[in-house]
Chains A and B, each alone.
Chain A
Amino acid sequence: KAGVTQTPRYLIKTRGQQVTLSCSPISGHRSVSWYQQTPGQGLQFLFEYFSETQRNKGNFPGRFSGRQFSNSRSEMNVSTLELGDSALYLCASSPTSGGVEQFFGPGTRLTVL
């Protein structure tokens, strides 16, 4: 079974721009969660989508948004990028909402200049 895939793997943007990241979950998994990982803050939960509905949301500003499609693929969008948004963005899939075992993708490394 193919694992979680994320595209692109690396991205460089400048302040003020917006970015869209994509995640394809493991086949059959309906839950997709997004996380931001930085050296200072560690892994922080952004939001979870299950069957195209946002189920949970972390403490991030409204510039961070997401959506999930009927095939369970998910996208995350960050608008008006700030330098502090530079991070590794990880997506994880699970068969159920809030599943204890999250299957993570390799992440997208975003650098904001």
Chain B
Amino acid sequence: QKEVEQDPGPLSVPEGAIVSLNCTYSNSAFQYFMWYRQYSRKGPELLMYTYSSGNKEDGRFTAQVDKSSKYISLFIRDSQPSDSATYLCAMRSNDYKLSFGAGTTVTVRA
């Protein structure tokens, strides 16, 4: 079993819809929780990160972490065609290793 599980999708939504992405994990030592976005033929780029449990909002993006359930989410409000990409969750434990989810491919239809 992988340390980080993420549904690969694909996910297709109409423009303006809310995109909901999530990951589950098994390693309780994870302290930092990140979301990366990867466009086709590009490397991933960090969208936002959260330390420990709680919510964090950045513009149209909201990240949630529930450590008791070992579950993290990313919500994209008012989705745009430019949000079409693969979204990867990532987590870091105290030994500084990053573990990534498989990535969810999102398409926002105009």
Contact = CB atoms under 8 A, between A and B. Distances in A.
Interface of A: 4, 33, 35, 41-45, 48, 55-56, 58, 90, 92, 97-98, 100-107
B46 A98 contact: no
A24 to B, nearest CB: 13
A105 B43 contact: yes
Q: Which 8 A-B pairs have the closest CB atoms?
A: A98-B96, A104-B43, A42-B102, A43-B100, A101-B46, A100-B32, A104-B44, A100-B49
A106 B45 CA distance: 10
Chain B interface size band reads 20 to 34
B2 to A, nearest CB: 8
Interface of B: 6, 32, 34, 41-46, 49, 88, 90, 92, 95-103
A42 B95 contact: no
B43 A107 contact: yes
A59 to B, nearest CB: 10
Contacts of A33: 98
